[in-house]
Amino acid sequence: MDRQMERTIKSNPKIKCLIISESFLRGGLENHILKQVVSLKDRLDFVFCFSNYQPHPSLSSYPIYNCNLGPDITIKEFYKSVQAIIDIIHSEKINVIHVHPFYSLFPAVFAGVLTSTPIVYTLHGIASLNFNNAFIGTFLQRYFLSELNLAIVSVSAHYQQTLEDAYLAKKVFYLPNTIKTSNYQHIKPVPNHCWAMVARLDNVRKAEIIEVIRHAHQLGIQQLDIYGHGPAMDELKKIAESEKNCYIRFIGWADNLLDMLSSKPYNGIIGQGQVVLEGGAAGLPVLLASYGRITGLLDETLFDRIKSRNFINVNEPNVDISFISSQMKSLNNNFKKYNLRSKIKAEFDTKIVMPQYYQILSQQQPSYSSSLVELWRKLDIAIKEPQVIINESFFNSPFLEQLIIDEFSGYYNLTNPFLIDSINQYGQTKSLHRQVDHLQQQITRLNEVVQKLPSRRIKKFIRYLTSTTTVLR
């Protein structure tokens, strides 16, 4: 931390931060939250709101609220969740909201806008952008990220660029994942051909796990200990049994990666993202495996090339398995080449990264949208009437689709490239047809008006609406 930043932090008052996340169970997102709590507890008072929460001792002294923030939420439940967050903001005197993916984004932003509370959104990877394919979720997410001027933190510079180029986001910060390197004593790698792989065993990560299992023999891996848990575990066990390329053990979840690495001698560790940081900080060689591919052992060259991408191999060329095999064969004679401990300490320590997080959280201004406020007003009216629509799925409701289209179809909004693009993306749905019909009705009414009261301005507006309708059709 530089001295100027340290002086700034000490001079600023302690602020109250509401952390909202769909779940707090086990994984990288949870580790990210825990590091923030431990590193910034002297500068931030934390309050938490989760749908699913697995108790953790580091959070036991903080207020923790439960709200329904999941994908299957109804309109009525969504309304209640927003109201609950608003109540938390008022009762806890919250200064800033820090929201994490996935569906928790939607009620958090509504509550933040309605209470004039600044919002910071952290993206943890590409899944943070493409988790919802329905019109309502996609449209609102793009509107939030493009138009509301939220502060967006990306753990990857790659996605920072995506947000700025494709979403026209104006306030995006790149802050990498971090690690408290002083907790990691140096572990001497042992040339025993026994490797540890750490990953969530789900449908997203299983592809690279399968690649490692299938190529274990070529890579010189005689024993593979797989740490992690998830819905793909049974499938992966069957593949491991059928391949028989090496001795494979499925250990289960490791609460403390450092303890796991110290528990038995390992030749090295396999993984991506935070696993690279933790294994590298302990001094172990790291074999990079992500996005369904094995990219190779991390030396300084590969480290510098992918460090700003959260240590995943996106945009990396495919690497022939024979090259990686040659790396693995020479590893035990050259451990020093693959020791990244000093580089990780110099660039990714919590002392360097977390003060920047504090700066972002403490300096944001509220976001405002008259369209969101009006949309909420209409929801508020609907929720108080005994109609069936309040039990519709929030993200698949025809009623809500129509409300959104009606609210965002004015002249000002349709001149916005993002909104035109969003409506075009929704071009094959019945709601777009309703949108086009709505515009056509506006044109008809305006033509009637201009016949009675000639006006160049109205005529110009009619031409604009007509061209827009043609594009949308």
Reported as a single tens digit per residue, the pLDDT across 209-248 is 999 999 999 999 999 999 988 889 999 999 998 887 789 9
Report residue 38 as tokens: 């431990």
The helix or strand, by DSSP H or E, that contains position 223, with its residue range, turns out to be strand 223-227
Helix (H, G, I), strand (E, B) or coil at 224: strand
Alpha carbon distance 89, 270 (integer Å): 42
Co-location of 57 and 95 in the same domain: yes
The reported pTM is: 0.76
Q: Are 281 and 142 contained in the same domain?
A: no
Do the domain assignments include residue 419? Answer: no
Same domain, 333 and 469: no
58: DSSP letter: G
Counting other chains too, the contacts that 166-169 makes at CB distance below 8 Å and 24 or more residues apart are 167/142, 167/418, 168/417, 168/418, 169/145
Q: Are residues 241 and 92 in the same domain?
A: no
Structural domain ending residue among the three candidates 362, 385, 417: 362
Report the percentage of the chain scoring pLDDT > 90: 36
Cα–Cα–Cα angle for 210, 212, 215, rounded to 5 degrees: 105
Handedness of CA 9, 10, 11, 12 (dihedral sign): positive
pLDDT of 167-217, one tens digit each? 778 888 998 888 888 888 888 888 999 999 998 888 888 899 999 999 999
Mean of the pLDDT values across residues 334-351?
91
pLDDT at 261 over 50: yes
Is 173 within 8 Å of 156 (Cβ atoms)? no
DSSP code of 317?
P
For residues 432 and 344, membership in a common domain is answered with: no
State whether 200 and 343 are in the same domain: yes
CA 225 – CA 282 distance, rounded (Å):
18
Which residues 6+ apart lie within 8 Å of 353 measured at CB? Answer: 175, 176, 178
| pLDDT score for 180 | 87
Q: Number of structural domains, the chain?
A: 3
Average pLDDT over residues 102-118: 94
Q: Which residue shows structure tokens 């491991």?
A: 240
Residue 56 lies inside a defined structural domain of this protein: yes
pLDDT in tens, 352-394: 889 888 999 989 999 998 889 999 998 888 887 766 577 888 8
Domain membership of residue 376 (yes or no) is: no
Q: Which alpha helices (H) appear in 154-292, and where do they start and end?
A: 157-166, 206-215, 233-243, 257-263, 274-281
Q: Going by DSSP bridges, is the β-strand pair 151-154/119-123 parallel, antiparallel, or unpaired?
A: parallel
Which CATH number do you get for residue 241? 3.40.50.2000
pLDDT, greater one: 430 or 22: 22
> Are 199 and 205 contacting, i.e. CB atoms less than 8 angstroms apart?
yes
Secondary structure (3-state) at 194: strand
Domain C-terminal end among 332, 362, 392: 362
pLDDT bracket for residue 3 (50, 70, 90): low
* 259 within domain boundaries: yes
Query: Do 69 and 155 lie in a common domain?
Result: yes
Q: Are strands 286-290 and 293-297 parallel, antiparallel or unpaired?
A: antiparallel
End-of-domain residue from the set 348, 381, 415: 348
Q: What's phi and psi for 66, nearest 5 deg?
A: -115, 125
Residues 282 and 221 in one domain: yes
Residue 2: predicted pLDDT: 46
Domain membership of residue 275 as a residue range: 181-348
Q: Is residue 172 part of a domain?
A: yes
- 277 vs 356: CA distance, rounded Å: 19
* Residue 31 neighbours by CB distance under 10 Å: 16
Beta strands in 253-409 (DSSP E): 268-271, 286-290, 293-297
**Are 99 and 82 in the same domain?**
yes
Which two tokens mark 285? 């060689």
Structure tokens at 204: 């997203």
Residues 257, 309: contact at Cβ < 8 Å? no
Is position 406 within any domain? no
Same domain (yes/no): 137, 195: no
Nearest by Cα to 398 from 136, 98, 77, 91: 136
Q: Tell me the range of 108-122, 347-361, 414-428 where mean pLDDT is highest.
A: 108-122
Establish if 284 belongs to a structural domain.
yes
In terms of domains, do 104 and 39 share one? yes
- On the question of pLDDT at 294 being above 60, the answer is yes
Whether 379 maps to a domain, the answer reads no
Instruction: Answer yes or no: is pLDDT of 12 > 70.
Output: no
CA distance 99 to 83: 16
Digit-coded pLDDT (tens) for 59-74? 999 999 999 998 889 9
Give the orientation angle of helix 3-11 with respect to helix 350-362, to 10 degrees: 50
Question: Would the pLDDT of 424 be above 70?
Answer: no
Residue 27 near residue 371, CB atoms below 8 Å: no
If asked whether residues 171 and 211 sit together in one domain, one would say no
